[in-house]
Structure 1
Amino acid sequence: MERTRKRSRWFILAAVILGTAIAGAALLAFLFNVRLVSALIIKDSTGAIIVRLPLQDGQFVHHYIHSIHKTPVDEYFEVHGSSLDLTKVKYDTYGVGMPSDAGEGFSIENGRFVVVLHRSFSSIPIRVSIVPDHGVIIGGTLFPFTRWVPQESAITLSAGRMLIFRNGRISPK
């Protein structure tokens, strides 16, 4: 009987401590405006995480200069859980290396070709271009991959989640 009471007291004490910890975490999250948001994760060739970039709206653009046409190409992605969903591609010059099918729709917007797509990837392997401005655009800001790795490095893009504090401004390494 005494043993049961001791266990019961320990159980109550553990429940009170756990409840207090959860309430404290919720209060801190409220006070410091902590949010869980989608993130773009960039890894090096060994699989080590180089940087996590918060995606306030769950979207980013893979931006590069086409190696043959020397014109910009923008691949628009949305993050859904652990999936990177390619929704459209915008480019300036039609020809070699550019989408040749209409996908789910083809149009011209502001002088650029636009192909609407719905393709999902768990990760995207990339070789960082020697041509400047190869990177990702998040919230209207271009983050060149050479900010973190040298040209011609092998990297991988994948999706994840991360906690951000306050206004969640991007300020990666």
Structure 2
Amino acid sequence: MTKLLSIAGLAVTLCITSGHAIAEQIKLKHPLEIDADEQAARLKENVGIFRHNVQIKHGNMTITADYLEAHKRAELGDNQQLLIASGDPVKFSAEQEDGTIIVASAKKVTYDVAKSLFTMSGGAKFQQNGDMMSADTIIYDRAAETVTSKKAENSTNQVKTIINTQNEQGGQ
């Protein structure tokens, strides 16, 4: 029972640490580069639209998607930005300071800068150092430093966490 509780605690720690790493990558002070096959704007709404082969680079972070909307509006708060990416899937990768790579994917990724909320939905997966989490939805609240993973209301898929035990020292 104690080992099971330790594994559950490790899973929660993994999720919070990994979510914090994503937040730190998003906050990088490098220029944001967006490449796409097509770009448009809804000027009255302050929305940039990027379609087909969308690649977002921000420092050592990369996001690829089929479609991206970049919203900028006063009612979104101080930072005024909401980024909504969709794809089959949207892919995220970033190299951490220690050289480890984070890889995440989902059909839809939303980042609300004003609320510091990062949401992956539709077959969301998150991987780091051989550890993996998958769920219908993974939500990281950067301000509260919480991670929530859940299945969709009518889904039979449960949240799944796989913890790599090959690197553990001292036995079982």
TM-score, normalised on structure 2?
0.26
For CA contacts below 8 A with separation 6 or more, give which structure has more relative contact order.
1
TM-score, normalised on structure 1?
0.26
* Higher-strand-fraction structure: 2
